[in-house]
């Protein structure tokens, strides 16, 4: 059921102009800007890190905006009420949406790498290429699980953009996707440590530059499982709350 729901959502998102723009064009622009900004340095891995970081930014954008847009589309089409009253747990209704946004976002990582290597001359010097191949899809699925926690608010609120828009850039910065977390103020450390995006980006950076990948990857998966559990509980509460307040429909 989860597999079929995820495949259906991937097909729907592949026909959405918003998703096509976010997943196809935005990561390439971000990768180009990041590579040219980092090209001023003399460290070749920094260019590859810029491409990888831009790819992770694309994954987060896909999960964040894609989940909000998918639920908003359900509300606009009048099918969100039908979806939420079907006799199954709420997590099985919403999780395919967030997993699909993560899978669509996986393109961002692949596209930015190919764009950087083939067109921008970024040397593909991976310290641990096998770890990178393993870590990339794991991070994408972890972000999809994290998106489930956010999706609970999208179900409750009629305007998902009120949550989506303010979360894009702050998470990019706090997760260290382009700027190292150590360069940020000290008070941001606990916030960054609580985000699976931080550990996913750290795992991919370790696969590029060298160093242990599995500790950061394990923390990323652990935090994603916690977010999955919290999202399951939140959806159960939100579903009941939305029925009581009648906020599933537009009017």
pLDDT single digits (tens) 154-179: 777 766 667 777 777 888 888 887 77
Most confidently modeled of 64-78, 82-96, 115-129, 209-223?
209-223
Residue 42 has pLDDT above 60, yes or no: no
The DSSP H or E segment spanning 241 is helix 214-245
CA-CA distance, 101 to 138, in Å (whole number)? 14
Residues 91-143 pLDDT 10s? 888 888 888 888 887 888 888 888 888 877 777 778 888 988 888 888 888 88
Rounded to the nearest 5 percent, the helix, strand and coil shares of the chain are 80, 0, 20
Single pTM value for the model: 0.81
Distance from C-alpha of 118 to C-alpha of 74, rounded to nearest angstrom: 39
Is 60 exceeded by the pLDDT of residue 185? yes
What is the C-alpha separation between 29 and 177, in angstroms, rounded? 15
Burial class (CB in 10 A: 0-12, 13-18, 19+), 11: exposed
């Amino acid at each position: 059921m989860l597999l079929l729901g995820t495949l259906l959502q991937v097909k729907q998102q592949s026909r959405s102009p918003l998703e096509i723009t976010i997943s196809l064009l935005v990561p390439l622009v971000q990768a180009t800007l990041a590579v040219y900004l980092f090209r001023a340095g003399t460290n070749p891995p920094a260019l590859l890190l810029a491409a990888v970081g831009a790819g992770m930014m694309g994954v987060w954008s896909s999960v964040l905006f894609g989940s909000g847009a998918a639920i908003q589309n359900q509300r606009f089409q009048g099918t969100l009420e039908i979806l939420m009253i079907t006799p199954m747990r709420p997590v099985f209704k919403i999780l395919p949406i967030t997993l699909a946004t993560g899978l669509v976002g996986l393109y961002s990582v692949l596209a930015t790498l190919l764009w950087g290597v083939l067109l921008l001359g970024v040397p593909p010097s991976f310290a641990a290429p096998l770890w990178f191949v393993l870590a990339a899809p794991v991070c994408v699925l972890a972000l999809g699980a994290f998106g489930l926690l956010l999706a609970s608010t999208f179900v409750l609120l009629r305007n998902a953009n009120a949550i989506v828009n303010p979360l894009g850039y702050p998470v990019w910065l706090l997760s260290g996707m382009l700027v190292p977390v150590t360069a940020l103020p000290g008070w941001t450390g606990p916030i960054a440590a609580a985000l699976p995006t931080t550990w996913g980006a750290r795992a991919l950076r370790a696969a590029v530059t060298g160093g242990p990948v599995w500790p950061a990857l394990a923390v990323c998966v652990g935090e994603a499982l916690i977010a999955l559990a919290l999202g399951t509980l939140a959806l159960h509460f939100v579903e009941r709350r939305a029925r009581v307040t009648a906020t599933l429909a537009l009017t």
